[in-house]
């Protein structure tokens, strides 16, 4: 097995409500290794801490207990080597689609002609050709999210952390971009981690699916996804795909039944995220 990109040991996180003094344990004793170049999806019931886990991996949160290591070093802050694609697109409203996608390349010192060519390739990949000079307010929600995905990939990260990045897309566009992301993953050998509520998406895109327990989140089980390569939409008709979906559905239903109700006056997650 390849060396771990992420090594998470006994991770714990508690959110406090300053007004009431109450606390909420979101993660407790969570341990997980993700190998370099692996594609892993994380699923679990709402409120189990999936986004909290991803935020720790991205360096946006510090653990209250345990540790999160990336390539052997503690994750203490965000870093360009680990890009995060959140549910919101996060585009600069004063820049066009092209300007947004070019921005990370410009920050890395990429020459003008090279960054224009690379930005164009990524814009083609997310099917926004013809909208290069449009501003975010001129785009639909799904188009904004596609532009956000292109900009994140322009950072040339070693690890891509994704939090429901396809949720605003229609089904056909969602499938096309899933296949493009898988092609990029196969070609580049980077580490991809996807948080999703969509079971078929998790199975289709991943080589391993991690199931989290009801809050406080821990790792309930890890399921290897042994399906034909390269992946295409046709794999969803494979009997093994159906069997995996049935198994993961049962596992999730067990945790949903255990999930506690939200506590009054206390957010389950930071305001900008969700689980």
Judge whether residue 268 has pLDDT over 80.
no
The number of CA neighbours under 13 Å toward the Cβ of 156 is: 12
pLDDT in tens, 118-137: 999 999 888 899 999 999 99
pLDDT at 241: 96
Judge whether residue 30 has pLDDT over 60.
yes
Residues 6+ apart with CB under 8 A from 179: 231, 232, 233
Domains and CATH numbers, the chain: 27-81+159-264 (3.40.50.300), 92-156 (no CATH)
pLDDT in tens, 136-151: 999 987 788 889 888 9
E strand residue ranges, the chain: 4-16, 23-35, 39-43, 65-70, 73-74, 82-85, 159-163, 191-195, 208-212, 219-224
Residue listed under structure tokens 């290897």: 224
pLDDT in tens, 201-246: 999 999 999 999 999 999 999 999 999 888 888 999 999 999 999 9
The number of CA neighbours under 13 Å toward the Cβ of 35 is: 10
Question: Residues of 67-98 as b/e, b for ≥16 C-beta within 10 angstroms?
Answer: ebebbeeebeeeeeebbbbbbebbbeeebbbb
pLDDT at 55: 95
Average pLDDT of 91-96? Answer: 94
């Amino acid at each position: 097995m390849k060396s771990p990109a992420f090594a998470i040991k006994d991770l714990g996180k508690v959110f406090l409500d300053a007004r009431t003094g109450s606390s909420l344990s979101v993660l407790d004793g969570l341990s997980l290794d993700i190998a370099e170049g692996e594609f892993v999806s994380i699923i679990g019931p709402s409120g189990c801490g999936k986004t909290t886990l991803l935020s720790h991996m991205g360096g946006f949160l510090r653990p209250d207990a345990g540790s999160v290591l990336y390539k052997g070093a503690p994750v203490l802050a965000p870093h360009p080597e680990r890009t995060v694609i959140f549910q919101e697109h996060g585009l600069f409203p004063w820049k066009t689609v092209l300007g947004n996608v070019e921005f990370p390349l410009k920050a890395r010192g990429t020459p003008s002609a090279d960054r224009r060519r690379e930005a164009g390739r990524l814009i083609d990949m997310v099917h926004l050709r013809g909208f290069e000079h449009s501003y975010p307010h001129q785009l639909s929600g799904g188009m904004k999210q596609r532009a956000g995905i292109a900009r994140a990939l322009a950072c040339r990260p070693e690890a891509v952390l994704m939090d429901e990045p396809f949720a605003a897309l229609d089904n056909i566009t969602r499938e096309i971009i899933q296949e493009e992301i898988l092609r990029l993953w196969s070609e580049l050998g980077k580490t991809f981690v996807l948080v999703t509520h969509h079971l078929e998406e998790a199975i289709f895109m991943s080589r391993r699916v991690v199931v989290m327990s009801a809050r406080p989140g821990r790792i309930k089980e890890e399921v290897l996804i042994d399906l034909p390569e390269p992946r295409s939409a046709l794999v969803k008709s494979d009997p093994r795909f159906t069997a995996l979906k049935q198994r993961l559905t049962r596992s999730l239903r067990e945790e949903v039944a255990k999930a506690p109700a939200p506590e009054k006056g206390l957010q389950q997650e930071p305001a900008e995220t969700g689980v």
